[in-house]
Amino acid sequence: MTSARDRFILFCVVAYAVLASLWIFMSDRLLAMFADVQSIVWLSTAKGVFFVAASAATFFLALRAVPTGDGDGDSARLLEALSSGVSPGRLPVWLSYSFAVLMTLAMLALRESISAGIGGRSLLILFMFPITFSALLGGLGPGLVSTALAGLGVAYFSLPPRGSFHIAASYDLLQWSFLLINGLAVSILSAMLRRSLARAETNRRLLDVVISGTEDAVFVKDARGRYLLVNDAAAGFVGKTQSEIIGHDDRALFPAESAAYLRAMDQTVMSAGHTQTHEEQLTTQDGKSLVFLVTKGPVFDEKGQVAGLFGISREITARKQAEDEIRRLNAELEQRVAERTAELNAANLELEDLAYALAHNLRAPLRAIDGFAHLLTEEHAGQLDAEARSCLMQITLANRNMGALIDGILALLRCSRGELLRQSVDISQLAEKRFDDLARIEPQRQIDAEIAPGLAVAGDRTMLEIAMNQLVDNAWKFTRGREHAVIRVYRGEVDGHPAICVADNGAGFDMAHVERLYQPFYRLHRQDEFPGIGIGLATVRRIIHRHGGNIRAEGVPGSGAIFCFSLPSVMSGVEDSHEEKKHPAG
Amino acid sequence: MKKRSILLVEDNPQDEILILRALRKINLANCIDVARDGQQALDYLFCEGEFAARPQDEEPAVVLLDIGLPRLSGLEVLARLRADPRTSLIPVVMLTSSDEERDRLKSYESRANSFVRKPLDFAEFAETVARLGIYWLATNEPIQK
């Protein structure tokens, strides 16, 4: 199927070929009427210039009118569909051509019938009537048909010598040429007029499709707020017909309050002089509350003054309600989460209080058991045999063990209670102090304690002291039996954060058990290897976690262990010297 | 010289036995009076109720006061003693299983003279009690009335 573009190009080429041939034929005939060579040369030049000018003008008009090609695809087809049936006074093609032919023939007949009355005058002006009509009704084609028919008919029937296409009188020939040129011009101008009308109509329809097709309210108001245009959607919102709205302002459509509000909004947009988008909440006359998302912009007159405004309103009431509902549900959910969290925290606290009270109250019976076992041993030893005394010894040992457990649990629980202070804590000093204490208790042990100076962190001094003591105690304990025990406290890293590390070359542990290290009462060593209750690292971890930090452990069985903990703000020491203080114990 | 005595306020009968035994070991057993709850302790010290017949001027040399007591807690007893001019100067030693910082702070704020934690180990416990007895009965110089 040929496109509108191809058809147009073909049409232009054919029309040009026909008209140019006609011109050559007729103009040469015209030249033949002149006898002197000088006139012929001069006219020939003028004729050439005219031809060039006319064809240049035709090219300009034709090229400008070339329709868009198929490259635009859908949009071109859409435009074609829209413009079909939009030409003003459009007739079927055969009808407009028939009209052109009939009108022209009628005019020929009319001219023949009055030829006696008009004397020798050719009166070719009469033919402009059918040509103009044909062109206006049918466009370029019928116009040209009418022109050609009139030209041929007049030349054959009317202009002497009759019965021949030859035109004898140069005056007649001139008139005849003008008829053709006028006819051609009228046809072209009519075609252009029709095209621009069709284009305007296409645009109007395009806009109309959008405006009447959209669910958004579209409207235009003049500067005083009276509606110039509303679409069906806009009319639907206020429950009136378009004709009831046009010419009225918002006071006729909305309750006074909403009308005043709209007027104020309109004024704002018009005085701002540019397009704005905002939300409007309106009450309709039947009491419905609607929310619109509105884009309003000024409409300017030819002098550039604001003459009114246009608006596109989308009803978002349901969306707004949904949003409000979501907000409400979110708030409710947050509150519920907060409540649950509070409940959970309260329950946790209660549980910890219970554990604390329990551990605490276990002390008294424990003391009693220990006390009375003691009394038996001390005061009734004579009546007891060796086995009885051994049993009492086991009771005392078990008691001591349970006492340590209770103290461990209490220490662990205490670490989750109470306020957490943020102080500058000198870890190096804490470590040194602990080593001194341990060395005093076990002066016989030879341990190299290498403590980097100036390890400062921010945290709760009491808790960090408990943690540090536990780590140093562990290092001390698990290097027992090592010939050359070395314990180091230094600055390291945990997950890229600066950390404090305590390393020893003691018993170490298997990395497979690394996570269980922190489980309360879980132990990696037998009591007869390394005595303990297994709650120290749980306490350390809880302290570090309460500070928002992390703890990592690395161990190699038989080679040693490293414990590193980071706190959110491990501060760098004031004097970050690399020189480590040798701190031999013993 | 008036009779110098110790008032032990202790609700746990086993602790009571163990404390009395420890004091008996150093021959102080007959200087001990025992109250078994907070209210009884106050009655004793203010010579009220069952102790109405007790002579007012026989103040104990020291009150060994547990904290976790029935009816009135040790801290409440302490506050009442300090609030009354008759008893505000009596030496009070908190003798308790608690190692809560809170209790310690409260005790000192209420002008307790000392805060002693009951050790779990009996030997240690006995020694602590004996030292307290000797100190407050023999070493410490009371106000001369």
Do A189 and A222 lie in one domain? The reply is no
Using the 3D structure, point to which of A163, A190, A211 is the last residue of a domain.
Answer: A211
pLDDT band at A221; cut points 50, 70, 90: very high
Q: Give percent helix, percent strand, percent coil of chain B, each to the nearest 5.
A: 45, 15, 40
Do A227 and A184 lie in one domain? The reply is no
Q: Which two tokens stand for residue A129?
A: 């009537």
Using the 3D structure, point to which of A211, A232, A262 is the last residue of a domain.
Answer: A211
pLDDT at A160 over 80: no
CB-based contacts of A576, cutoff 8 Å, min separation 6:
A454
Residue-wise pLDDT for A497-530, tens only, equals 889 999 999 888 888 888 888 888 777 777 777 8
For residues A564 and A492, the answer to whether their CB atoms sit within 8 Å is yes
Do A13 and A162 lie in one domain? The reply is yes
Do A397 and A522 lie in one domain? The reply is no
Tally C-beta pairs within 8 A across A and B: 47
pLDDT at B2: 54
How far is residue B90's CA from residue B142's CA, in Å, rounded to a whole number?
A: 9
Buried b (16+ CB within 10 A) or exposed e, A351-381: eeeeebeebbebbbebbbbbbbbbbbbeeee
Q: Which of A368, A399, A364 is nearest to B96 (CA)?
A: A364
Average pLDDT over chain A, rounded to whole?
A: 84
pLDDT at A536: 87
Taking residues A220-225, what's their average pLDDT?
A: 90
| A312: enclosing H helix or E strand | strand A306-315
How far is residue A73's CA from residue A58's CA, in Å, rounded to a whole number?
A: 28
Residue-wise pLDDT for A250-267, tens only, equals 998 899 999 999 999 999
For residues A103 and A65, the answer to whether their CB atoms sit within 8 Å is no
Residue-wise pLDDT for A70-99, tens only, equals 444 555 555 555 555 444 445 688 888 998
How many structural domains does chain A have?
4
Q: Is A367's CB within 8 Å of B99's CB?
A: no
User: What residue in B sits closest to A367 (Cα-Cα)?
Assistant: B120
How far is residue A243's CA from residue A469's CA, in Å, rounded to a whole number?
A: 91
Taking residues B11-36, what's their average pLDDT?
A: 88
Residue B33: what are its φ and ψ, rounded to 5°? -110, 145
* Residue of A370, A372, A373 with shortest CB distance to B120: A370
Do A112 and A49 lie in one domain? The reply is yes
Do A61 and A140 lie in one domain? The reply is yes
* ipTM of the complex as predicted: 0.79
pLDDT at A1 over 70: no
Q: Which two tokens stand for residue A121?
A: 């005058």
Percent of chain A with pLDDT over 70: 90
Residue numbers in B near A410 (CB within 8 A): 99
pLDDT band at A577; cut points 50, 70, 90: very low
Q: Is B14's CB within 8 Å of A372's CB?
A: yes
Q: What CATH number is given to the structural domain containing A273?
A: 3.30.450.20
pLDDT at A56: 81
Best residue in A360, A362, A370, A465 to probe B by mutation, most B CBs within 10 Å? A370
CA angle A471, A473, A475 (to 5 degrees): 70
Q: What CATH number is given to the structural domain containing A523?
A: 3.30.565.10
Q: Which two tokens stand for residue A48?
A: 């050439």
List, in sequence order, the alpha helices (H) in B47-144: 74-83, 101-109, 122-134
pLDDT band at A312; cut points 50, 70, 90: very high
Q: Which of A210, A143, A221, A156 is nearest to A182 (CA)?
A: A143
pLDDT at A268: 92
Residue-wise pLDDT for A422-459, tens only, equals 888 999 999 999 999 999 998 888 888 899 998 988 89
Q: What is the CA radius of gyration of chain A?
A: 54
Do A355 and A465 lie in one domain? The reply is no
Using the 3D structure, point to which of A211, A226, A261 is the last residue of a domain.
Answer: A211
Do A282 and A428 lie in one domain? The reply is no
Determine the longest span between alpha carbons in chain A, in angstroms.
175
pLDDT at A102 over 70: yes
pLDDT at A578 over 60: no
pLDDT band at A296; cut points 50, 70, 90: very high
pLDDT at A186 over 80: yes
Q: Which of A99, A80, A180 is nearest to A139 (CA)?
A: A99
Q: Is A365's CB within 8 Å of B14's CB?
A: yes
Residues pairing with A488 in the sheet: A450, A503
Best residue in B120, B124, B127 to probe A by mutation, most A CBs within 10 Å? B120
Structural domains in chain B, sorted by start:
6-135 (3.40.50.2300)
Residue A228 belongs to domain spanning:
215-315
Residue numbers in B near A360 (CB within 8 A): 97-98
Determine the longest span between alpha carbons in chain B, in angstroms.
39
pLDDT at A90: 58
How far is residue A190's CA from residue A180's CA, in Å, rounded to a whole number?
A: 15
Do A330 and A393 lie in one domain? The reply is yes
Percent of chain A with pLDDT over 90: 25
pLDDT at B66 over 60: yes
Residue numbers in B near A367 (CB within 8 A): 14-15, 18, 97, 118-120, 122, 125
Do A291 and A326 lie in one domain? The reply is no
Nearest chain B Cα distance for residue A365, angstroms: 8
Do A487 and A361 lie in one domain? The reply is no
Residue A426: what are its φ and ψ, rounded to 5°? -90, 100
For residues A71 and A4, the answer to whether their CB atoms sit within 8 Å is no
pLDDT at A207: 86
Do A448 and A551 lie in one domain? The reply is yes
